[in-house]
Amino acid sequence: MKHQSMFKAVGVTAAAVLAMGALASCTSVSAGEGSDTVRVTLANHVWTDIIKDRISEFEKDTGLTVELTQLGEDQLSDQYNVKLNAGTDEIDVMMYRPLQEGKLFAQNGYLADISDRVTANSDWNWDDFQSGPVGATTWEGSVVGVPTITEQEVLYYRTDLLEAAGLDVPATLDDLENAAKVISEDNPGVAGFVARTARSAAVTQFSSFLYSFGGDFIKNGKSVIDSPEAKAAYEYYGGLLNNYGPENVSTDMSWPEAAAIFAQGNAAFYTDASSLYKNLTEAENSTVSDSVGFAPFPAGPAGSKPYNVPSWALGINEASPNQDNAWKFIEWATSPEMTLDIQEAGVPGARDSVWADPAGTASFPPALAEAVAIGSETGVGYDRPLVISVAEAREIVGAPIVEAITGGDVDSVIADAHEKFQAFLDGENK
Amino acid sequence: MTTTTAPAVAAEVTAPKPLKRRKRGGGYKLFRVTMLVLVVITFVAPIIWMLLASFKTNVDIYNPAAAFNFTPTLGNYETVFGQANYTQYIFNSFWIGLCSTVLSLILGLPAAYSMSRFVMKKSAALVLLARVIPGVSLLVPWYFIFSNMRMVGGYEVLILSHMFVSLPLIVYIMMSFFDSLPIELEEQAQVDGLTPIGAFMRIVLPLSVPGIATASILSFIFSWNNFMFALVLSGSRTKTLPVAIFDFVAYASIDWGGLMAAAVVVTVPIMVIALFTQKYIVSGLTAGATKG
Distances (CA, A) of A309 to A256, A275, A378, A391: 20, 11, 12, 17
**Averaged pLDDT, A97-103:** 92
Say yes or no for a CB contact (<8 Å) between A285 and B205.
no
Burial of B157 (0-12, 13-18, 19+ CB in 10 A): buried
Q: Are residues A333 and A414 in the same domain?
A: no
Which residues 279-298 of A have a C-beta within 8 angstroms of B? Answer: 279, 283-287
Between CA A207 and CA A216 the distance in angstroms is: 8
The pLDDT score that the predictor gives to residue B13 is 45
**Averaged pLDDT, A166-181:** 94
Inside any domain, residue A250: yes
Of B14 and A419, more confident:
A419
The pLDDT score that the predictor gives to residue A235 is 95
Inside any domain, residue A69: yes
The per-residue pLDDT for range A357-370, each reduced to its tens digit, is 888 888 888 899 88
Structural domain harbouring A303: 152-308+381-429
Q: For residue B206, which residues of chain A lie inside 8 Å, CB to CB?
A: 3
Q: Are residues A415 and A353 in the same domain?
A: no
B193 φψ region: left (φ > 0), alpha (ψ -120 to 50), beta (else): left
Instruction: Please check whether residue A14 touches B, CB under 8 A.
Output: yes
Q: Is A210 a residue whose pLDDT tops 50?
A: yes
**A132 min Cα distance to partner chain B (Å):** 21
The pLDDT score that the predictor gives to residue B287 is 55
The pLDDT score that the predictor gives to residue A19 is 46
Q: For residue B156, which residues of chain A lie inside 8 Å, CB to CB?
A: 20-21, 24-25
Instruction: Please check whether residue A260 touches B, CB under 8 A.
Output: yes
Inside any domain, residue A15: no
Q: Are residues A160 and A45 in the same domain?
A: no
Instruction: Please check whether residue A44 touches B, CB under 8 A.
Output: yes
CATH number of B83-291: 1.10.3720.10
Q: Are residues A158 and A86 in the same domain?
A: no
Say yes or no for a CB contact (<8 Å) between B246 and A45.
no
Instruction: Mutate one of A44, A152, A288 to test the B interface: name it (highest B CB count within 10 A).
Output: A44
Q: Are residues A259 and A390 in the same domain?
A: yes
CA nearest A274 in B: which residue? B252
**Averaged pLDDT, A223-234:** 95
Burial of B33 (0-12, 13-18, 19+ CB in 10 A): exposed
Q: Are residues A227 and A282 in the same domain?
A: yes
Of A94 and A20, more confident:
A94
Q: Are residues A144 and A86 in the same domain?
A: yes
Q: Is A21 a residue whose pLDDT tops 80?
A: no
Per-domain residue ranges for chain B? 2-53, 83-291
Q: Are residues A120 and A105 in the same domain?
A: yes
pLDDT above 70 covers what percent of chain B? 88
Q: For residue B154, which residues of chain A lie inside 8 Å, CB to CB?
A: 21, 24-25, 28
Q: Are residues A332 and A290 in the same domain?
A: no
Binned at pLDDT 50, 70 and 90, residue B7 comes out as: very low
**B230 min Cα distance to partner chain A (Å):** 10
Q: Is A327 a residue whose pLDDT tops 90?
A: yes
The pLDDT score that the predictor gives to residue B125 is 84
For chain A, how many structural domains are there in total?
2
A185 contact partners, CB below 8 Å, separation of at least 6? none
Binned at pLDDT 50, 70 and 90, residue A254 comes out as: very high
Say yes or no for a CB contact (<8 Å) between A3 and B235.
no
CATH number for the domain including A423? 3.40.190.10
The per-residue pLDDT for range A383-405, each reduced to its tens digit, is 999 999 999 999 999 999 999 99
Distances (CA, A) of A228 to A202, A235, A423: 20, 10, 20
Instruction: Mutate one of A42, A77, A90, A274 to test the B interface: name it (highest B CB count within 10 A).
Output: A90
Q: Are residues A134 and A82 in the same domain?
A: yes
The per-residue pLDDT for range B24-81, each reduced to its tens digit, is 677 888 999 999 999 999 999 999 999 999 999 888 888 878 778 888 888 899 888 8
**B39 min Cα distance to partner chain A (Å):** 27
Closest by Cα among A183, A181, A195, A191 to A153: A195
Of B284 and B226, more confident:
B226
Of A149 and B129, more confident:
A149
Instruction: Please check whether residue A312 touches B, CB under 8 A.
Output: yes
Inside any domain, residue A27: no
Q: Pick from A44, A79, A284: which is nearest to B59 by CB?
A: A284
pTM: 0.80
Q: Are residues A142 and A219 in the same domain?
A: no
